[in-house]
Structure 1
């Protein structure tokens, strides 16, 4: 018998009053009906986040109890893979705004998210943040505030990330540097006479050292998707992970979710490199002194676990003088970053003003 039951992450809840689909209400732990206003609380996992043991997933991806199938849409223009919770009549890629064809949807396995950072404000608020950002731009055209924002092209997107935990142990070799100062004689000319003086110069005494360090690495955050076009700016990629909620598909309702395209194995390699940086930092701290040299670190990781988490961002495009520009808003903090036009004449007259000021100052000094 063919399986008819939908995967947990694709289950949609209907309003008990009018039957419309309930959607997540940003900034709350509720889902709400946009038609009659009915709200329900999203059930939370009392056990908190579940860290998954890393090695079984690396050995046999997708066969574990925390893996499932979801419906995916692939953008042929920019390559983004998107999972749509809402039943849109018309679909557009969140990155490049190109139309997506619902008939091209396909099923694909993914590791079920362990946690989600819910959106803290709605699409309207993201547009207000954009308007404020525009007002603060230097050398922006005067009529930029009239930029055409197409609500259809503004989407709330959950970005996929991996987080890794591990116990770290490492042996290191290096050198401890301690500063000391010596008096160094030198000569200078004062009123035409040669004068002998001394000055202090800093030296470093280096002492060979070795030792061992250990500790727990918590929530190393690794990006889990490639964006070939319109990559998410690093300026907005700062989230408070202490606000993570246990995953519930209701948080995704009304939003787009991007599926990870960086495999767990590659994400783990990146997290190991981050762990190596942490080990070097811990070694420097352990060596002490005024400065340090770390020659070698022999590191091992144990008790490794991971989570697949989803983090919120608004992505949109606006048009000005026939050209499209993109902007991005962190869905938790409201931090914005985007591309923008410049006014040639504002820059020209500013440069001209600076030149005039310099000329006047030079004339006065003479």
Structure 2
């Protein structure tokens, strides 16, 4: 592996007509000027993104390969580390909306992303999804609905993830369970009846399973709060593109805070769960028990990838709420506050209706 000398993530594209910075247009392979509508095609990367050898990167010397320096801003409130691809006049953390101090920017090494999944929906569509979702919430505070009026509250973020590939081999011991049924008489007198009761015969089982584990997805960042919910954390990784900084233009990019070594430990746990599923399938029968399983991984590789998500951060009664929209599929999820007064008056109105009905019934 050779290091990449060029600071690709810092290259900025200027519009040839008006000089404004070009931004990536979601769902296309183009950069677009928001002032004069000039468009520039992003050249197709000829090289396919690499799967990097894991063992070498877990070694300190190996980790210097395919790395570079980028400008980072650290949020002191929630801990997110963010890289901005363009010159914003004012910056706010995408997770908690707290101001970021541009003067506090610093340079930091990162493993260059091997691939990126470009945004497929733009901010306007993501904001409409968020607004429609909020309007459908029962008993949401009026302030929350007012917050949806400003599209600037919805920000696009490329979130970092690790993916791991490996050849998996495992030996297991356990038991195969096969169901059978017996007829029993229960109850006495008139309540006497027969029932079928399911039971299980257990047989010893052992064997080995093997196969290729592809693209185990592990999150690579963690904040105090504002974690991307599992409901939206599903992307079609077949649409990954070889990394180009042009796809980042106009969006915030978060740097990983979970080291590769820790991500690998989480991936091994996922691999162990996969090995157990394979073992159960291999045992067969109606149900299975796993007594022991010994797993070995080989030919391990990994990628650092960036995946698209829109975030709206909202504060209500000193508590922060985050709403997330998957930047590829448009799936939305998030916590929501409840208006005490709306619930109070709803319950009060129900009680008044009941009291009125009772009054007329007794009149």
Q: Could you say whether these structures have the same fold, taking a TM-score greater than 0.5 normalized by the shorter chain as the test?
A: yes
Map of 1:1-366 to 2, 5 A cutoff? 7-60=7-60, 63-141=63-141, 145-147=145-147, 149-190=149-190, 197-318=193-314, 325-348=321-344, 350-351=346-347, 353=350
Q: Is the 8 A contact 1:62 1:109 kept in 2?
A: no
CA distance in 2, matches of 1:252, 1:66: 18
CA distance 1:224–1:286, change in 2 (3 Å)? same
Deviation at 1:106, TM superposition (A): 1.1
Q: CA RMSD in A?
A: 2.7
CA distance 1:111–1:150, change in 2 (3 Å)? same
SS of structure 2 residue aligned to 1:166: strand
Q: Is the 8 A contact 1:149 1:317 kept in 2?
A: no
Q: Is the 8 A contact 2:127 2:151 kept in 1?
A: no
**Segment of structure 1 superposing worse, 350-359 or 334-343:** 350-359
CA distance 1:48–1:6, change in 2 (3 Å)? closer
SS of structure 2 residue aligned to 1:199: strand
CA distance in 2, matches of 1:291, 1:156: 45
Deviation at 1:148, TM superposition (A): 6.1
Deviation at 1:347, TM superposition (A): 2.7
Deviation at 1:94, TM superposition (A): 1.4
CA distance 1:302–1:334, change in 2 (3 Å)? same
Deviation at 1:6, TM superposition (A): 5.7
Deviation at 1:229, TM superposition (A): 2.6
Once the two structures are superposed, what CA deviation does each residue of 1:65-85 show, in whole Å capped at 9, x if it has no partner? 411111111112221111110
Structure-1-length-normalised TM-score = 0.88
CA distance in 1, matches of 2:203, 2:316: 62
CA distance in 1, matches of 2:172, 2:309: 41
Unpaired stretches in structure 2, ≥5 consecutive residues? none
Unpaired stretches in structure 1, ≥5 consecutive residues? none
Structure-2-length-normalised TM-score = 0.89
Q: Is the 8 A contact 1:62 1:111 kept in 2?
A: no
